[in-house]
Amino acid sequence: EIYKSMMDCLLAKCIPCITDCVMAELEKLGSKYRLALRLAKDPRFERLPCTHEGNYADDCLLQRCQQHRCYIVATCDKDLKRKIRKVPGVPIMYINSRKYSIERMPEAFGAPKN
């Protein structure tokens, strides 16, 4: 169960969010991402509206993180992770070997980098 696993990874309650851009991209990608789309439509996910036009989902997420820095980005996309790592203080959640992991969490709360 994705919702419970996210909270277990964070050791805290969270509100999973998805942007209109990500939703539209999942719908365009078709059957290969059918499971991801079904998860994204879970009513526990808050839908974040996008006011721009023509952005890729990655660019939308990157801009949102740069502006607000209050999000944890959950992705397994290597290119998106590389871009998000350039934004100071934004943690990244991902799945590796069927386990949820998070990187940069202490940094997000002002802890010094090792």
Tokens 């990608």 belong to: 29
Return the pLDDT at 84: 95
- Per-residue pLDDT tens for 17-63? 999 999 999 999 988 889 989 989 999 999 999 988 777 899 999 99
Give me the DSSP letters along 23-66. HHHHHHHGGGGHHHHHHHT-TTSEEEP---SS--HHHHHHHHHH
What pTM was computed for the model?
Answer: 0.81
Q: Is residue 27 in a domain?
A: yes
Q: Is residue 78 in a domain?
A: yes
Q: Is residue 47 in a domain?
A: yes
How are strands ordered across the β-sheet holding 92-96?
73-74, 92-96, 99-103
Say which CATH number the domain at 102 has.
3.40.50.1010
Q: Is residue 113 in a domain?
A: no
Question: How many independent structural domains does the chain possess?
Answer: 1
SS3 81: helix
Give the C-alpha separation, 43 to 55, whole Å.
Answer: 25
Look up the domain containing 39 and give its range: 2-108
Residue 1, burial from CB neighbour count under 10 angstroms (0-12, 13-18, 19+) = exposed
Q: Is residue 104 in a domain?
A: yes
